[in-house]
Amino acid sequence: MMWFDKKDERCLFGDKRQESHILCDGRALDINPDVLLDFTDLPFLDDAFHLVVFDPPHLNKAGSKSWLAKKYGKLGQDWRDDLRKGFAECFRVLKPNGTLIFKWNETQIKVKDILALTPHKPLFGHVTKRHGGTHWFAFIKG
């Protein structure tokens, strides 16, 4: 949802879903990634990217017909382990001194609980309270 243009040649959009929905307000939602992938096991070589954006699902409670779950996805039962693996994979595919941008909405799970899942510390971040508590963090791979 954050991309200005998912088809920009500088962007490689990955998601485990490829699906289309009509949302409750009548808008079409198309999830059509460049690469189908699982963020816990990225199909890329070590040190492959200068920049990685990690925007995992932030909901662990949502109904099967929830428009939020359709739009943003939903975490599984083992979400702590999945996010721990996701962070590790992001840092694995980053080049040395590469940047990880991490986006999280703490509607259901607090930021402190998420940041505890990685040994890496963010360099800086920003909260957009106006939009429901979405946090942005920047990490640099040492």
Q: Which domain holds residue 112?
A: 14-140
Contact 109, 85 (CB under 8 A): no
User: Would residue 49 count as lying in a domain?
Assistant: yes
pLDDT tops 80 at residue 101:
yes
pLDDT tops 90 at residue 100:
yes
**Type of residue at 85:** K
Average pLDDT over every residue of 20-35: 87
The pLDDT tens digits of the residues spanning 45-54 come to 999 999 999 9
User: Would residue 91 count as lying in a domain?
Assistant: yes
How much of the chain, in percent, has pLDDT values that exceed 70?
97
Give the pairing of strands 134-140 and 28-31. unpaired
pLDDT band at 1 (very low <50, low <70, confident <90, very high): low
- The two structure tokens encoding residue 94: 């980053």
pLDDT band at 108 (very low <50, low <70, confident <90, very high): very high
How much of the chain, in percent, has pLDDT values that exceed 90?
68
Instruction: Please report the pLDDT score of residue 50 as a whole number.
Output: 98
Instruction: Please report the pLDDT score of residue 25 as a whole number.
Output: 84
What DSSP letter does each residue of 27-87 carry, written as one string?
-EEEE--SEE--TTS-SS-TT-EEEEEE-----SS--TT-HHHHHH----TTHHHHHHHHH
| Number of structural domains the chain divides into | 1
Beta-bridge mates of residue 52: 100
Instruction: Please report the pLDDT score of residue 131 as a whole number.
Output: 61
Q: What is the CATH number of the domain that holds 53?
A: 3.40.50.150
User: Would residue 1 count as lying in a domain?
Assistant: no
User: Would residue 107 count as lying in a domain?
Assistant: yes
User: Would residue 97 count as lying in a domain?
Assistant: yes
User: Would residue 5 count as lying in a domain?
Assistant: no
User: Would residue 2 count as lying in a domain?
Assistant: no
CA gap 94, 76 in Å, rounded: 25
Contact 68, 62 (CB under 8 A): yes
The pLDDT tens digits of the residues spanning 65-98 come to 787 888 888 999 999 999 999 999 999 999 999 9
User: Would residue 6 count as lying in a domain?
Assistant: no
